[in-house]
Structure 1
Amino acid sequence: MTDTDRPDLAYRRVLALTGPLFLSYLTVAMSLPAVPVHVVQGLGFDNTYGGLAVGIAFLSTILTRGRAGAWADRLGGKQCMQRGLVIYAAAGVICLAASWTGFSTTASYAVLIAGRLLLGVGESVAMVGMIGWAIGVMGQARSGLVISLVGMGMYGAFAAGGPLGLALLDRFGFGGLMLVCSLLPIAGLLAIHRLPAVGPHVGQRQSFWTIIGQIWRPGLAVGLQGVGFAALGAFFSLYVLSKGWAHASLGLTFFGTGFVAMRLLCGHLPDRIGGRPVAIASLCVEACGQYLIWLAPGPYAALAGALLTGIGCSMVFPAMGSEVVKRVQPHMRGTAVGGFAAFQDLAYGATGPLAGALADRTGYASIFLIGGLAATMGLLLVLSDRQAPKGLEAQLGK
């Protein structure tokens, strides 16, 4: 009897994978608000360089999604995830080296960029491997739930990691923070060591770009959704500090709370009613959250906008991801997931430096106007997508 024949056992094993993913994503989450603060306030560079240091990790993630998907399809998800966690740890060590006081500020920034590039590779490989492994355990019919659980681990880490990273930065400096970020992936690697692997599927492979041609619409929708999160993660703290408001470190906490709550309450919906209606409702809420931050008269309104952004962002990736998985053969699942995630990575990577440049000229508030417009464009794209499965169209027509 396989895991897919025993739903309770399969679910427990996927939950066991979510814990190590949470630990690995803490390395991303703790550094996300701390890196621009370190670059701007510690090294003395402007916001454009701070945004670049954040966004560069997403660039390497984009460039390696295809390779990560191929590894997951050919080697299996477990081996792919293990490789990703090792790369995570190495990236933390390089970023730790960037804190050496013997470096000039330029050299320190260059080493930091190298570490951030490697961090993006680790994120790419670990996340694609984990999703491929988990879908293999749970079965394709429950892919929406799998992706929801993966997101809970990821964004639960963002909820905890934002204030934790800033607290570690304040107490131990950037080097102390990066030391912690080096050790967490090793703990995750040890945690998955004894979990059983799922063998790769066999079949005729298609090119990465052929797969992209099949999934670009849901991919672009999830990319537009990602602009709001990237803007919030990189610049919410600086936005609040620039206004002289309190609670600058709580933006990601409010975002992550809304995000995880929606995954817990609605994680089953893409598998039950289809991804398109879930994505439509979610993008509406995200857009409202971004517009609220843009117009916020005080810190509590801004935090409410962060909460709404988390609620809205929560289900877009699993909703569209469940549609993507249905459009490809099982032996190409990892490649499809990698290509799909690359659209979101592109949004993350481009938003950091572009939003930083925008903030230098028009202020931080304008960043969240762009996030709201991007979510609105994603909503229009999903509404205009006529490639939804016929069964879903029938449900919408009831």
Structure 2
Amino acid sequence: MKQTANTASAQRKPLWTKAFVTTSLANLLLFFSFQMLIPTIPAYLSQLGGDEVQIGLVIGIFTISSLLTRPFAGRALDSLGRKHVLLVGLTICTLTIAGYSFLAAAALILAARFVHGIGWGLSTTSLGTVIADIIPPERRGEGMGYYGLSNTLAMASGPLTGLWVMQTYSFHTVLIVSTGLALLSVLCSLFIRYERPQFRAAEQAVQRFTDRLWERTALLPSALLLLTAICYGGIVTFITLYGQEAGIPNVGLFFLCNASMVLIVRPLTGVLFDRKGPAWVLVPGAIFTCTGLWLLSYAHSNASLAGAALCYGIGFGSLQPALQAWTIARAAPYRRGAANGTFFSANDLGIGLGAMLLGGIAHAIGSYAVMYRLSTGLIVLFLVVYGCSFWLHAQKLSRARASGQKPR
């Protein structure tokens, strides 16, 4: 018995390899660079005389270009190689951020945002695919959980850092720091070394055009991610206005508490995913997310806002890495690029739809609180869709066993 345990331990591949750390660090630097610009570019555009429509387009144009890029990025990753696409994407991001310093017209900044979105779509899809190649399959949930912490750290501190640098120095100083971080991400990517999966030409010969851009096995987890991203889009877009409506003075507390809880739960739920499977993470995660949204809709103080954020953080911190790990597990190794492109496209689309659809609902009913309450229906739909897919998969396995076939 002891010998068996020792054998299993010996077969357990290490997670914290040089390639894993380097890729996670490159992702952290890229996301920190990006998050510094989220609150500062709109403020700078306003200083240049940009109106509300142009300020809104700063986010919209970036999202559209990254969304359009991801399917082609996924195809390129599977056919041209991971490193080449990654370096091209990171280089575009670095040069575009540096170029903002020389643009003094709103129209030029909007054009640069479109190019920046292309680089962002290439870079993030590439990093997600590279890390999926590096993480041992038996530790995929745990690895994705730790890798996702780099995003969380950047989301928690990047915007605050960007605002502080802009208020203390200038927007151009923000661009210098952001460009430096993006350049460091490029340098880190040069040192990523790992044994890349080798694919046969027959495996990569995808016949249908749609399959070249989208991965069918990724559609279910991506659809579930879409539902959660719509809710998140409603939070990041309207939480400040909701704070004014509810009389909450410091809505930034929501993001701080949410990020803190995400940092705690992601490594834990990743291990649970590896040991028990996706259902043990997705179902509780959806319940916590739904509860957090419901509590948020009734928050009228910093204490109640913090409680809602902690609850939402447990759900949000559980769902995203579990869905990404599930996406990679369902896809063939030679289709990981397309799978990641499909997955991240759903995230971009969901955040954009959340801003538009939930904003329309809030305008129609005249209440952000009711809007958040109604958005819990999307998480209920999440549970229904996943429950149906789980039941259908169980039925398929049952029929396979009854006919003597090997379950897949």
| TM-score normalized with structure 2 length | 0.81
How far did residue 346 of structure 1 move?
A: 0.8
8 Å contact from structure 1 (residues 226, 347) kept in 2: yes
Query: Which residue type is aligned with residue 149 of structure 1?
Result: Y
User: What's 2:376 paired with?
Assistant: 372
8 Å contact from structure 1 (residues 148, 318) kept in 2: yes
Q: Which range moves more in the overlay, 37-46 or 305-314?
A: 37-46
Q: Distance in 1 between matches of 2:250 and 2:396?
A: 42
Q: Distance in 2 between matches of 1:34 and 1:243?
A: 26
Correspondence 1:381 to 2:385:
yes
In structure 2, do the counterparts of structure 1 residues 6 and 276 end up closer, same or farther at CA, with 3 Å as the change threshold?
closer
Q: Distance in 2 between matches of 1:167 and 1:152?
A: 23
How far did residue 130 of structure 1 move?
A: 1.7
Q: Which of 1 and 2 has greater Rg? A: 2
Query: Which residue type is aligned with residue 74 of structure 2?
Result: G
Q: Which of these residues, 32, 37, 52, is aligned with residue 38 of structure 2?
A: 32
User: What's 2:79 paired with?
Assistant: 74
Q: Which range moves more in the overlay, 359-368 or 385-394?
A: 385-394
Q: Distance in 2 between matches of 1:76 and 1:6?
A: 27
How far did residue 386 of structure 1 move?
A: 3.5
8 Å contact from structure 1 (residues 291, 368) kept in 2: yes
Query: Which residue type is aligned with residue 373 of structure 1?
Result: G
In structure 2, do the counterparts of structure 1 residues 286 and 113 end up closer, same or farther at CA, with 3 Å as the change threshold?
farther
Secondary structure in 2 matching 1:7: coil
User: What's 1:314 paired with?
Assistant: 317
User: What's 2:59 paired with?
Assistant: 54
Q: Distance in 2 between matches of 1:352 and 1:97?
A: 30
Q: Distance in 2 between matches of 1:44 and 1:243?
A: 29
Q: Distance in 2 between matches of 1:96 and 1:306?
A: 36
Q: Which of these residues, 274, 284, 289, is aligned with residue 286 of structure 1?
A: 289
Correspondence 1:115 to 2:112:
yes
Write out per-residue CA displacement over residues 223-270 of structure 1, whole angstroms, 9 at most, x where no aligned residue.
111123223233324443565543343433222222221112222222
Q: Which of these residues, 23, 27, 30, is aligned with residue 21 of structure 1?
A: 27
User: What's 1:196 paired with?
Assistant: 193
8 Å contact from structure 1 (residues 21, 153) kept in 2: yes
In structure 2, do the counterparts of structure 1 residues 114 and 302 end up closer, same or farther at CA, with 3 Å as the change threshold?
farther
Q: Distance in 1 between matches of 2:165 and 2:315?
A: 29
Q: Distance in 1 between matches of 2:40 and 2:397?
A: 45
Correspondence 1:229 to 2:232:
yes
What's the RMSD between the two structures over aligned residues? 3.2
Write out per-residue CA displacement over residues 325-367 of structure 1, whole angstroms, 9 at most, x where no aligned residue.
2332211111112112211111022223444555566354455
> What is the percent sequence identity of the aligned residues?
22
Write out per-residue CA displacement over residues 10-47 of structure 1, whole angstroms, 9 at most, x where no aligned residue.
5443123211211111133223344555567885634x
Superposition pairs of residues 1-398 of structure 1, within 5 angstroms:
7-8=13-14, 11-35=17-41, 43=49, 45-46=51-52, 50-98=55-103, 100=104, 103=105, 108=106, 110-203=107-200, 204-205=203-204, 206=206, 207=208, 209-210=210-211, 211-240=214-243, 245-356=248-359, 362=366, 364-386=368-390
Secondary structure in 2 matching 1:25: helix
How far did residue 393 of structure 1 move?
A: 8.6
Aligned length in residues: 382
Query: Which runs of no fewer than 5 residues in structure 1 stay unpaired?
Result: none
Q: Which range moves more in the overlay, 49-58 or 292-301?
A: 49-58
Q: Distance in 2 between matches of 1:28 and 1:189?
A: 14
8 Å contact from structure 2 (residues 86, 126) kept in 1: yes
Write out per-residue CA displacement over residues 49-99 of structure 1, whole angstroms, 9 at most, x where no aligned residue.
54443243222222111222123223433333222221221332344445x
In structure 2, do the counterparts of structure 1 residues 34 and 387 end up closer, same or farther at CA, with 3 Å as the change threshold?
farther
Query: Which residue type is aligned with residue 8 of structure 1?
Result: P
8 Å contact from structure 1 (residues 76, 132) kept in 2: no
In structure 2, do the counterparts of structure 1 residues 349 and 217 end up closer, same or farther at CA, with 3 Å as the change threshold?
same
In structure 2, do the counterparts of structure 1 residues 392 and 320 end up closer, same or farther at CA, with 3 Å as the change threshold?
farther
In structure 2, do the counterparts of structure 1 residues 200 and 57 end up closer, same or farther at CA, with 3 Å as the change threshold?
farther
Q: Distance in 2 between matches of 1:121 and 1:70?
A: 15
8 Å contact from structure 1 (residues 36, 50) kept in 2: yes
How far did residue 124 of structure 1 move?
A: 2.1
8 Å contact from structure 2 (residues 166, 173) kept in 1: yes
Q: Distance in 1 between matches of 2:84 and 2:189?
A: 10
How far did residue 153 of structure 1 move?
A: 1.0
In structure 2, do the counterparts of structure 1 residues 189 and 66 end up closer, same or farther at CA, with 3 Å as the change threshold?
same
Secondary structure in 2 matching 1:28: helix
8 Å contact from structure 1 (residues 32, 233) kept in 2: no
Q: Which range moves more in the overlay, 179-188 or 300-309?
A: 300-309
Query: Which residue type is aligned with residue 67 of structure 1?
Result: F
Q: Distance in 1 between matches of 2:134 and 2:395?
A: 25
